[in-house]
Amino acid sequence: MYQVTLPSPGFGTFRLEGESLKQAITDALEIGFRHIDTAQIYGNEETVGEAIANSSVKRDDIFLTTKVWFDNFNAEKFVSSVEESLDKLQTDYVDLLLIHWPSPDRKVPIESYLKSLVDCMHKGYTRAIGLSNFTAPLLEEAFSVIGKENIACNQVEVHPYFQNTDLVKFCQRHDITVVGYMPLGNGKIMEDKVLNDIADEHGVSVASVALAWQLQQGLVPIPASTNKAHIESNFAAKELRLTPDEMDRIAKLDTGKRFIDPDFSPDW
């Protein structure tokens, strides 16, 4: 297996598109981000590819992730959909290829689409493979199908208001990196008093505090922004160290309520 280290934090592209996305990726790479996350369903792989191709940063120095949507899980569509993603991204390979969501209602058996995922790795289309939105029971199923040593990460919702603690701990016990999407809670955390107090104490943004809280737990947050100042602030979270007391104060903010819960979600 290709041993993979995910640069952290990463730069997310969910809901971003067009020239604003292209400029955001350009800014992110200039600031120091080296991990770009996209997905087939985002409809922006082509723009991501253009931004990377036009960047002064070499492709080999960029860690690029995309995800296969469940409409493409059938064996006859899976590999060709990945080939289409590579064409859009203007690259011969991605560094990490994920299953975006488990197949709704198990329409496609887990054994089938995970085998296709491994096939893509063997074809050289991706250097590593992983999962997204998989629960602990589904992860255990995946272990039995392709071996947990082949699963680089599980990308799931994590932020101060939804800390997903049990699943994070499960993944970490099995040496599976947790990539945290929506790490700023869709902006909902920005007015939080605890986070603002901690931010004021350090002279940083609330976003930096939320991201530092994740980074200190060994998570890989992937914040998205088109604002250059915010992108700089997000990357600067790497330099922030929170005290044990501050980490505890943030831990108490968990509401247990997720923001992303579509009707095709697994049985959380």
Helix, coil or strand: residue 151: strand
Q: Which of 42, 113, 125, 181 is catalytic?
A: 42
Residue 94's DSSP bridge partners are: 126
- Given CA atoms 84, 89, 93, 99 in this order, what sign does their dihedral have? negative
For residue 30, with 0-12 CB atoms within 10 Å meaning exposed, 13-18 middle and 19 or more buried, which class applies?
Answer: middle
Q: Is 42 a catalytic residue?
A: yes
Residue written as tokens 């991990």? 35
254, with CB counted inside 10 A (0-12, 13-18, 19+), is middle
**Whole-Å CA distances, 205 to 159, 165, 208:** 15, 24, 5
Phi, psi of 43 (to 5 degrees): 70, 20
Nearest to 119 by CA among 150, 90, 88, 153: 150
∠263-265-266 over CA atoms, to 5°?
A: 135
Q: Other C-beta atoms within 10 Å of 20: how many?
A: 12
Q: How far apart are CA 64 and CA 59, in angstroms?
A: 9
- Known catalytic residues? 42
